[in-house]
Structure 1
């Protein structure tokens, strides 16, 4: 499984924003559909809310896409 870092400059990013930024979906409006059709895990727990807040050190496992690790650009 490929691991990818997602760098954020804000305190958090939503799951829907992560899907869009990583080009898994084309528009924010597709997030609800995508999460209904695919099993995604946030910190090893199933998650289907596009508004779920992701903070630095959270992990998002998306089958067939990879494991995404949220990191803050402000971390040293």
Structure 2
């Protein structure tokens, strides 16, 4: 089951999402992380840290789990 990660905007970059999901500690670590781990977005591999994620997109990372982009309506 996917863990929901809530965002306040309509979209977020993969790099920002990884930081928000506590997968990486800082934005600077994102490039290195993406070069070492396979990241799948909606079932397709994508290593671009600038990739735009929208609400309901599913991000799968081996050894870290599955995450779903959710809207925070506050």
Same fold (TM over 0.5): yes
User: Who is 2:20 aligned against?
Assistant: 21
2:24 matched to 1:43?
A: no
TM-score, scaled relative to structure 1? 0.89
User: What are structure 1's unaligned runs of at least 5 residues?
Assistant: none
Q: C-alpha root-mean-square deviation of aligned residues, in Å?
A: 1.0
| Structure 1 stretches of at least 4 aligned residues deviating more than 4 Å after TM superposition | none
Cα distance in 2 for partners of 1:73, 1:21 equals: 13
Deviations along 1:36-67, one digit per CA (max 9) or x if unpaired, are 11101001000100010100010000111111
Q: Is 2:29 the counterpart of 1:30?
A: yes
Superposition TM-score, scaled by structure 2 size = 0.91
Unaligned regions of 5+ residues in structure 2, if any?
A: none
**Equivalent residue number for residue 69 of structure 1:** 68
